[in-house]
Amino acid sequence: KRYHRMIERACEYINQHYTNEDISLNDVAAYVNFSPSHFSSVFSRETGKSFIRYLTDLRMNKARELLKCTDLRCSDISIAVGYKDPHYFSYIFKKIHNCSPTQYRTSKTQS
């Protein structure tokens, strides 16, 4: 309970800035006036995810939404969710979803 408001503010900040490829744990920690190491441990404990896992999950959720609901190219979706390098975006997407963004889109449009 003690850190509830800080975590809430941190998550709001992340939700507003996830499209910025350069968002970092240090940025978010500074925003909520915590040291990076203290913020990292409190964030993990309170959310059940590391900062980078939280950010990656958020970006992947947005990417899946865009793949299902738009005709944007994968490279444009990559940029829209905070990855400047479309190959890295595809690599992370495939690692998490066990299929490429294109395969995901194809399977979702057929369902």
Residue 109 has pLDDT above 80, yes or no: no
The model's pLDDT over 27-60, given as tens digits with 9 standing for 90+, comes to 999 999 999 999 999 999 999 999 999 999 999 9
Separation of alpha carbons 11 and 64, rounded Å: 20
26, amino acid identity: N
Confidence at residue 15, expressed as pLDDT on a 0 to 100 scale: 97
The model's pLDDT over 96-108, given as tens digits with 9 standing for 90+, comes to 999 999 999 999 7
DSSP state of 6: H
Q: Once rounded to an integer, what is the mean pLDDT over residues 85-99? A: 97
Separation of alpha carbons 65 and 89, rounded Å: 15
Q: Once rounded to an integer, what is the mean pLDDT over residues 72-86? A: 97
